[in-house]
A and B are shown apart, each in its own frame.
Chain A
């Protein structure tokens, strides 16, 4: 993977840290996933093979030699990311993140100021996590036969489930791209794809423009709540496929159900490790019980991000839930569709 993140991220860092990050080359630069700044704590880089502390002269093994982030560094980074204008990005900051050029994102933690039981603003920021966006074209291809029904030339309602950082958004983005672009050689038509990108993670929009390739027939509704966004897209853009990230709330489930009823196929993700964990969340349990999703795909990081752990049909899950959902689902005969589409 290339380290093009440098062009977009380095100018946002304090001047004295810029040469340090510019010198990150080779494997470390290419496998970087997160840059963690915590006030008064060592500067830590997370890669797909582990974590590394960064010292004034480069990576270090001993904590004492690491560069310790200061409050001024954090303030400086926030100001650079907001173009010295917190007011311009305060809606995003309230939600705890900022979309950055290149599809990257910065997450924040600090003191939350509440007003009428809602987050009014985030101030005294004490931690910043810069997440490097890596678009892996082709990542979704192994899932395509399960998601796309060649016989009927339609996309199945699909839920991709994984714990954080196991590649579900990468898969979702790539599936959106593949379905949107189509493939004339394989006689797969391109679909009109509507993406509701509540947290700018799928298309990595910066100032409304997708920074990551989500296909030529995709329309992105950036920063919009899923519930409202799905219906807005269905009404205004006539999508054949609607794509959204991280279902969980009751209104998300209602919007998915409505979108399905309009005839659009739904591709979505949810946080979770396994089926039992998934059905503990009422809104997701409701969708599964009612057979809304035709395919449920589980991913993990076991063999690297995007490891496919199991693919289940919606009918099977419905049946399993009808029997009380107590049996170990993975031991049931024919439970997983891993080996056939």
Chain B
């Protein structure tokens, strides 16, 4: 009998973990989008106020971020450019994005905005570069607001759904 109870507990726990994971994804996406917004603002400040060249500017941005995943994204681009492998900043950005897709919880729509921010990176004049970064940041702000709204309503739902699904399975099996 106790094996049945153990099995039921395991099913419910797994299901709750899955629910929590889904809720976590929602919350993490919001945090990551906010962190990317901060990163773009920091990058714009480096470009606008001190005209720091990209390899150094990207490393400085990475140093000031707190979310390790987003930090890695900017460090990767900075390192790629510092190695002078012959690829330009936009290509290095897209290459880092390919890698980061695996560990960031952003949606394809978010990546589209981030990819657009890379277009012409480093090949524009200062004003145009700042405009481009500001546009991407504004778009990410709207995505972040949307994500926060979804998180507020969806977080609890996923948690309950996780637990309830587990219970439903247990009831069916018992």
Chain A interfacial positions (CB closer than 8 Å to B): 11, 14-15, 76, 79-80, 82-88, 90, 120-121
CB distance A80 to B124 under 8 Å? no
Which single member of B52, B81, B86, B124 contacts A86 (CB below 8 Å)?
Answer: B124
The answer, yes or no, to whether B53 is at the interface (CB within 8 Å) is: yes
Q: Which of B82-106 contact A (CB under 8 A)?
A: 84-86, 88-89
Cβ–Cβ contact B123 & A86, under 8 A: yes
B interface residue numbers (CB < 8 A to A): 47, 51-57, 81, 84-86, 88-89, 121-126, 129
Q: How far is the CB of A334 from chain B (nearest CB, A)?
A: 55
A85 and B84 form a contact (CB under 8 A): no
Q: How far is the CB of B85 from chain A (nearest CB, A)?
A: 8
Contact A83 B54 (CB under 8 A): yes
> What are 7 A-B residue pairs whose CB atoms fall within 8 Å in the complex?
A14-B86, A15-B85, A15-B86, A86-B123, A87-B122, A87-B125, A88-B51
Instruction: Give the distance in Å from the alpha carbon of A88 to the alpha carbon of B125 in the complex.
Output: 8
Q: Is B55 in contact with A83, judged by CB distance below 8 angstroms?
A: yes
A83 — which chain B residues lie within 8 A by C-beta? 53-56, 81
Question: Roughly how many angstroms separate A46 CA and B132 CA in the complex, as a whole number?
Answer: 41
> Are A82 and B53 in contact, with the CB atoms below 8 A?
yes
| Chain B contact residues: helix, strand, loop or mixed | loop
Other-chain residue from A14, A85, A90 in contact with B54 (beta carbon distance below 8 A): A85
Cα distance A86–B132 in the bound complex, in angstroms: 14
Closest residue to A16 on the B side, CB-wise? B86
Given known contacts A87-B126, A87-B129, is B84 in contact with A80 (CB within 8 Å)? Answer: yes
A87 in contact with B47 given A82-B53, A121-B125 (CB within 8 Å): yes
Given contacts A86-B123, A88-B51, 15 further A-B contacts (CB under 8 A): A14-B86, A82-B53, A83-B56, A84-B53, A84-B55, A84-B121, A84-B122, A85-B54, A85-B89, A87-B47, A87-B122, A87-B124, A88-B47, A88-B53, A88-B54
**Nearest B residue to A15, CB-CB:** B86
Distance, CA A82 to CA B56, complexed state (A): 12
Chain A min CB distance to B122 (Å): 4
Q: How far is the CA of A85 from the CA of B84 in the complex (A)?
A: 13
Across the interface, which residues of B come within 8 angstroms of A79, CB to CB? Answer: 88-89, 122-123
Interface centre among A11, A76, A85, A121 (most CB of B within 10 A): A85
* Nearest CB on B from A151, distance (A): 49
Pairs A-B, 6 closest by C-beta atoms: A83-B53, A87-B126, A85-B53, A84-B122, A84-B89, A85-B54
Instruction: Give CA–CA (A86, B124) in the complex, Å.
Output: 6
Given contacts A15-B86, A76-B86, A79-B88, contact A84 B125 (CB under 8 A): no
Give which listed residue, A11, A14, A85, A121, contacts B122 with CB less than 8 A: A85
In the complex, residue of chain B having the shortest beta-carbon distance to the beta carbon of A13: B86
| Cβ-defined partner of A90 (8 Å) among B52, B85, B125 | B125
Q: How far does the alpha carbon of A90 sit from the alpha carbon of B126 in the complex, in Å?
A: 8
B89 partner residues in chain A, CB cutoff 8 A: 79, 84-85
Chain B residues with CB under 8 A of A90: 125-126
Q: What residues of A have a CB within 8 angstroms of the CB of B88 in the complex? A: 79, 84
- Which residue from chain A places its CB closest to the CB of B129 in the assembled complex? A87
Q: How far is the CA of A161 from the CA of B137 in the complex (A)?
A: 54
CA distance A121 to B127 in the complex (A): 11
Q: Look across to chain A and name the residue whose beta carbon is closest to the beta carbon of B52.
A: A88
Which residue of chain B lies nearest to A12 when distances are taken between CB atoms in the complex? Answer: B84
Q: Closest residue of chain A to B57, judged by CB?
A: A85
Residue of B81, B88, B89, B122 with most partner-chain A CB within 10 A: B122
Q: Given the complex of chains A and B, what is the CA–CA distance between A90 and B127 in angstroms?
A: 11
Query: In the complex, what's the smallest C-beta–C-beta distance from A13 to chain B, in angstroms?
Result: 10
CA distance A87 to B47 in the complex (A): 7
Bound Cα distance from A14 to B88, whole angstroms: 12
B-side contacts of A87, CB under 8 Å? 47, 51, 122, 124-126, 129
How many Å lie between the Cα of A88 and that of B47 in the bound state? 7
Question: What chain A residues lie within 8 Å of B122 (beta carbons)?
Answer: 79, 82, 84-87
